[in-house]
Chain A
Amino acid sequence: MVSARVIRNLKKEFRNSALAKIGLLLVVGILFTAAFAPFIAPHDPTEQQLDQSELPPLGFSETTERTTSQMVEGEIQTVTETVEITPDAAHPLGTDSLGRDMLSRIIYGARTSLVVGVLGTLLAAFVGVPVGLFAGYHRGNVDDVLMRIADVSLAFPSLVLAVALIGLWGRAAVNIPDPFVVAGLAPEMPESFVLPITVVIVVGLVNWVWFARVARGEALSLRSQEYVKASRALGADDTSIIWNHVLPNAITPIIVLATVQVAAIILLESSLSFLGFSGTTLSWGFDIAQGRDYISSGQWWIASLPGLAIMFSVIGINLLGDWLRDSLDPGIEGEGGAA
């Protein structure tokens, strides 16, 4: 339960830990970027400007060999010339192979990562926590069956199961209108956000088992507490005991797990996008896959920069998770961060 003591611990840990401060700063920064992407992004992230393709980031210039065909004295000749490509201040992080602005794509990519991370985690918790609490509270056959299902679920690696399910179900996406653009505040930006709904469902379904395990463990130890026994003696039914007494006291480790899971699901989403198993093309993992084909020809930034965005987001969330764990319950182990 969120008591005054918990708040005090959180504050104390925060004051003493530079890492917690960095983590909070990163997470707030990314949340802000994702929420206000239409105002922050300098360009429409999907707009292609082929005459501006493959521009390097500011501070770097790239020499590249261009082969052109020219008519020389009535004959077609191929001419290879070395040209220097200089960056353009309009595209501070450069452009990709289709002339799309990297900075804008990275800013918009934050939306996909965070929305999938948070929705996927909520879905996993929504499935896993009730199942885990119920099994741990009742023990016996229900618990045995649940634990065997959990074992089977764990036997399939998240990524493999996710790839298999998306391969079978397809890559559905829904368009959600962007309120800022609809209201006319950022008219030149994409009108809707593409939510890869299959990815959300699949990452939720492959990660529920971590929530079930933690919730079960908590319920197992809470069921024999005096106040739970007292409610039972007073005639409260199981559902209300679980809801009113077990869940509130099990919530701390669940929150800590949820934080780590957001990070794990962001990594999973980027892996799925990288492999082409997503419903959107505006994602950090997708851009890394695109940029991969250009690393041997010198355009290192297309694959590198979105990866840094993933890394800093996940570092921020992990630091936040460490802070919550250290201040809420020093006894919780760092299990369940599987990507």
Chain B
Amino acid sequence: MKFRLYRYSPETDAKPRMQDVDLDIDPAGKMLLDALIAIKAQDETLSLRRSCREGVCGSDAMNVNGKNRLACITPLGELKEPIEVRPLPGLPVIRDLIVDMEPFYRQYRSIKPWLINDEPEPEVERLQSPEDRALLDGAYECILCACCTTACPSFWWNPDKFVGPAGLLQAYRFIADSRDEATSARLDNVEDPYRLYRCHGIMNCVDACPKGLNPTEAIGRIKSLLVKRRV
């Protein structure tokens, strides 16, 4: 199979280049990550992140034939050749397919992704009704792979100010949590022309999410709550 890989080594390359690779591999039952690991076995200088190899850890997010995906759950046979593999767009490249995730994590940290509840801790656990728990479905499953945020043009233009779809989905996850007491402060935190309202609803995030989540819907719910609070 034919591959075109983005290669960049800051120590030796003045600028990034595309490397054509021919790999003898039967695509049946194999994922893109299997091919990349086989290529790395031939050329150990190829650098990429991967860990769980089953779409849970979110390490091997990359841009494949123009779309952000997880290499470990992308079937090889479904990809058109030559398979063009690039690092996630919009983040600084450290080496080859490895990007600096710090701008993404900084936005994630900014929404305080933890439960805020100053009530005395109960004897056993903080209980939720099944209905309240159901509100978290579609929000808690995010694995922070950054496929969505790095597919968002608003994040490309304003990565320092726009929280991005992943961060906003997590913001909603805690706003919707019945056990969280900081709802107003969380809404205050995102009610901002840049932090929230750079989202123009183009839904690249929905298209990119390898877990099938819908950040645009969560962003819409945050906007609805802000409108209800205001009018």
Are A and B subunits of one complex? no
Q: Which residues of A contact B (CB under 8 A)?
A: none
Q: Which residues of B contact A (CB under 8 A)?
A: none
